[in-house]
Amino acid sequence: MEIIDAHVHSLACGIMCGGQVDVRYKTVKEGLKSRGIDKAVFVPINDISWQPVDEMNDYMISIIKNDEDIVGFIDIDISKMHYAGGIKNIETKIVELYERGLKGIKIHLQNLGVNGDDWRLLPIYRLAGELNIPVMIHCYPGSSPGLIENSHPKYIEKIVRVFHKTSFIIAHFGGVPYFNLMPWLNYDNVYFETSGVLPIFKKNIGIEKVKLIFEEIGYDKIFFGSDFPTEDIDIQIDIMREVVNKENLKYVFSENIKKFGRQFNWWKK
Ligand SMILES: [Zn+2]
């Protein structure tokens, strides 16, 4: 069965997680290939303490130019948006990156250290809708430099309702603390991906409860994502097979994201 991974990391600096994980393109691509995965969405991490954003975007563009199976998302730096012309500058940069081939924007609330409804993010949500590219929002109460609160769905709820012309992908399904709240974010313009969380969901929430929430959300709104190579991808594939029944599995593993991506010219074939 075809699998498309909605959440993969390959960084310009080549390392992640304090330097413990090798995220060079070649390693990541070979790792996916060995699981029979060709197509994937590569997302940045919005962490300027780890690497400069311009370098990351140039790196992402070099990947997508040579590998049409990869969809690349835009990395953002909001630290200078309060400068004179700061909002215009980031907007210009996003348009330029879109024109160079990146087809989505990643918002990592913990790494940016802001809540989902922060004023600096508002023009970005609006512009994504105008350019017709989706926004992936990190929704998982982990990882510094931000705090638990940053990913709280109460902020994201406002955003997905106000910016109803923008498509959103909720990354990590809210993690364990917010998993039960996910149905309240389930608007027409919102989709969900499972990266990194299925093992802890199985352990702390249980397969049956996960199934109930997935059913409530709808199997047409869920994408498989792994956070590879920072998380064990094989166990996540196995747990997905436990949670999702046979007839819906192909939608969650590939059909939903293919259909979703068609709106944004993600994959030609
Ligand atoms: Zn990630």
Arithmetic mean of pLDDT over the chain? 97
Is the confidence at residue 144, as pLDDT, over 80? no
pLDDT tens, position by position, 181-227: 999 999 999 999 999 999 999 999 999 999 999 999 999 999 999 99
- Domain for residue 267, yes or no? no
Residue 52 falls inside a structural domain: yes
* Cα–ligand 1 centroid distance for 216 (angstroms): 25
Residue 150 in any domain: the answer is yes
How many independent structural domains does the chain possess?
1
Average pLDDT over residues 121-150: 94
Kindly report the CATH number assigned to the domain that includes residue 72: 3.20.20.140
Asked if 70 and 64 touch (Cβ cutoff 8 Å), the reply is: yes
CA of 208 to the centre of ligand 1 (A): 25
Is residue 185 included in any domain, yes or no?
yes
159 found inside a domain:
yes
Q: Which residues surround ligand 1, an ion (CB under 5 A)?
A: 227
For ligand 1, the distance from its centroid to the CA atom of residue 10, given in whole angstroms, is 10
Residue 269 belongs to a domain: no
Query: What is the whole-number distance in angstroms between the Cα of residue 235 and the centre of ligand 1?
Result: 16
Centre of ligand 1 from the C-alpha of residue 9, in Å: 6
* Å from CA of 134 to ligand 1 middle: 16
Long-range contacts made by residues 207-214, C-beta under 8 angstroms, separation at least 24?
A: 207/239, 207/242, 207/243, 210/179, 210/243, 211/243, 213/179, 213/180, 213/182, 213/183, 214/243, 214/244
| Host domain of residue 222 | 5-262
Summarised one tens digit per residue, pLDDT across range 214-269 is: 999 999 999 999 999 999 999 999 999 999 999 999 999 999 999 999 999 999 87
Expressed in angstroms and rounded, the spacing between residue 8 Cα and the centre of ligand 1 is: 7
Tokens for 187, please give them. 């608007």
Q: What's the CA-to-centroid distance between 7 and ligand 1, angstroms?
A: 6
Residue 268 in domain: no
